[in-house]
Every structure is written in structure tokens, then in C-alpha cells.
């Protein structure tokens, strides 16, 4: 009993932690927040690392979690930039303030409220955009963060742009299975079509039939149709057909007496 209670408490704590992680990862701009959270659920709590082409900076990305636990000053930063020469970290955006744009096979996470620029971009807060593109060959947990560019040659709306290929954002493949009845109907229609096409071709080009005679087994189907009509007439009609009027002619019994009475008419 004690063991069961302990397991139940551990289960409730685990569920509570999952709920907290999901509730902390908010997408306030998008209306379908719950559906999109459910879509990226396999990535929630995972962190990724990337390096730019110049090999001067490292980048850390966390989905609904801190990008790097060792760099924490009470903030919830999901995007970080590390200067490898000075070992200084720049906070690019918080995962608790995230906008999201979703398409059929892609998704963009934009992390806001990063550390402010000091000398350019109008001293606005940094922001980072991570494009999640569909790639079914990439398993969950094996994604690579690719650094595309840092757009900072403007007075405002500067951003860091990243790409990560993953199978999580790929649309579901809908498979349609045919029932046994459907398969039988398709086979029956194919057989009937072949019977009509090949039979008509044989009757026309081999036997040189014309008109209705080109139909294969025309006489059989004609008789079959008549039998079907007779059966339907017998089963479906409720009124009996009117009785045929019998012809009341002269019977043989009436002619027997006439022979005797007509004897005197014969020539002697």
C-alpha cells in the first residue's frame, strides 16, 4: 500500500512538472496555442547547439526550456549566443515570450525580450527566429541548429535567423485502406468491363456481327432479361389478370343428333 502511494505521488509530480513546462512556454500571439504546443511536444524540454560559419560564436537553443542552465540570472532565455573569444554570453530571447507562425510543413519560433543592443539597432531588445523545416529523415533528438544570419544592419527590427530540420513539423501521412467489399466491387467492375470490351471486339471483328448482335451472348442476355421481367411480374403484381373468356361454340354432343336429321338431305 505504501509503495502504491509513493508511485502515485511520483506520477502526480511528473505530470505537474510537464504541465509547468508547457504552461511556461507561451505563444501569446497565435490563437491556436494548444494545437501548436501539441505539435512540437516531442521537442519540448530539449536543447540544441549550433556554430556560425566564422567559428567565432556558439548558439544554444531550448524548446520551452532554458537554452543553457549554467547561464541563468533568473531569466527564462531560450536562445543564447556565446562569444568564443571572450566567453561572453548574449541573451537573444525568452521562451516565455514567444510568437509562432505555422505552415503545412514548417514552423517559425520567434523568441523575444532578449538583451538590448548597445550600439546599433536602436538599442532595442534582441530577438531570434528559428525555422523548423520538415525532414522525415531526421529523428527526434538528432536535429542540428544551423545559423543562417544575423540581421543587425538596420535601425530597428534586427534579428538572428536559424534553421533546424526535424520530422516533428512534418504533416501526418494519411493512408486510406480499402475494405473487402470495396475490393470485390472493383474486381467485379473490372471483370464486367473486360467482358464487354473483349466480347464486343470479338463479335465485331471476328464474327462480323452488326448492331445489337455485337453484344456478347446477346440471345442469352435477352432471354435472361425476359425471365427477370416475368419473375418480377409474378412476384410484384398484387392483382390477378382477368380471366379469359371461353368461346362457347358447338360441341360434339350437339352435332351427334344433327347427323341423323340430315340423312334425308343426301342424294338417293
Task: Please give the torsion angle defined by the CA atoms of residues 137, 143, 146 and 150, in that order, rounded to the nearest 10 degrees.
Answer: 130
The enclosing H or E element of 184 equals helix 180-205
Nearest by Cα to 45 from 71, 17, 70, 73: 17
Q: Which of 11-20, 38-47, 69-78, 210-219 has the highest mean pLDDT?
A: 38-47
| Residue 68 confidence (pLDDT) | 85
Q: Are 67 and 90 in contact (CB under 8 A)?
A: no
Q: How many percent of the chain have pLDDT more than 90?
A: 27
Predicted TM-score (pTM) of this structure: 0.57
Q: What fold, for 20-166?
A: Cation-dependent Mannose-6-phosphate Receptor; Chain A (2.70.130)
Write out the E strands in the chain: 47-51, 57-62, 77-83, 88-102, 106-112, 128-134, 145-151, 159-166
Q: Are 81 and 114 in contact (CB under 8 A)?
A: no
pLDDT in tens, 70-114: 765 656 889 999 999 999 999 999 988 888 888 888 999 999 999
Task: Please give the torsion angle defined by the CA atoms of residues 166, 167, 169 and 174, in that order, rounded to the nearest 10 degrees.
Answer: 170
Cα-flanking dihedrals φ and ψ of residue 254, to 5°?
-80, -20
Exposed/middle/buried for 167, CB within 10 Å: 0-12, 13-18, 19+? middle
- Cβ atoms within 10 Å, residue 89: 19
DSSP state of 250: -
| Residue 20 confidence (pLDDT) | 34
Greater model confidence, 51 or 253: 51
Q: What is the DSSP string of 112-162?
A: ES-PBPSSSGGGPBP-EEEEEEE-TTSPTT---EEEEEEE-SSSS--EEEE
The full set of domain ranges for the chain reads 20-166, 182-222
| Residue 121 confidence (pLDDT) | 87
pLDDT in tens, 117-161: 988 888 899 999 999 999 999 988 889 999 998 888 888 889 999
Amino acid at each position: 500500500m505504501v509503495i502504491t502511494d509513493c508511485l502515485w505521488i511520483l506520477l502526480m509530480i511528473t505530470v505537474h512538472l510537464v504541465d509547468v513546462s508547457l504552461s511556461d512556454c507561451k505563444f501569446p500571439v497565435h490563437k491556436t496555442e494548444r494545437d501548436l504546443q501539441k505539435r512540437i511536444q516531442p521537442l519540448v524540454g530539449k536543447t540544441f547547439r549550433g556554430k556560425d560559419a566564422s567559428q567565432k560564436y556558439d548558439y544554444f537553443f531550448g524548446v520551452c526550456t532554458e537554452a543553457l542552465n549554467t547561464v541563468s540570472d533568473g531569466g527564462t532565455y531560450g536562445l543564447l549566443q556565446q562569444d568564443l573569444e571572450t566567453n561572453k554570453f548574449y541573451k537573444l530571447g525568452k521562451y516565455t515570450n514567444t510568437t509562432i507562425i505555422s505552415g503545412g510543413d514548417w514552423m517559425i519560433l520567434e523568441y523575444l525580450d532578449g538583451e538590448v543592443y548597445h550600439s546599433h539597432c536602436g538599442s532595442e531588445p534582441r530577438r531570434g527566429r528559428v525555422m523548423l523545416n520538415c525532414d522525415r529523415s531526421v529523428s527526434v533528438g538528432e536535429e542540428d541548429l544551423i545559423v543562417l544570419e544575423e540581421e543587425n544592419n538596420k535601425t530597428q527590427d534586427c534579428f538572428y535567423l536559424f534553421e533546424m530540420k526535424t520530422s516533428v513539423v512534418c504533416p501526418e501521412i494519411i493512408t486510406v485502406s480499402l475494405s473487402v467489399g470495396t475490393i470485390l466491387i472493383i474486381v467485379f467492375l473490372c471483370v464486367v468491363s473486360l467482358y464487354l470490351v473483349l466480347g464486343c471486339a470479338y463479335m465485331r471483328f471476328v464474327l462480323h456481327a452488326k448492331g445489337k448482335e455485337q453484344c456478347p451472348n446477346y440471345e442469352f442476355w435477352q432471354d435472361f432479361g425476359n425471365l427477370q421481367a416475368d419473375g418480377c411480374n409474378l412476384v410484384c403484381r398484387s392483382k390477378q389478370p382477368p380471366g379469359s373468356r371461353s368461346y362457347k361454340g358447338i360441341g360434339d354432343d350437339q352435332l351427334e343428333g344433327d347427323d341423323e336429321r340430315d340423312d334425308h338431305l343426301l342424294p338417293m
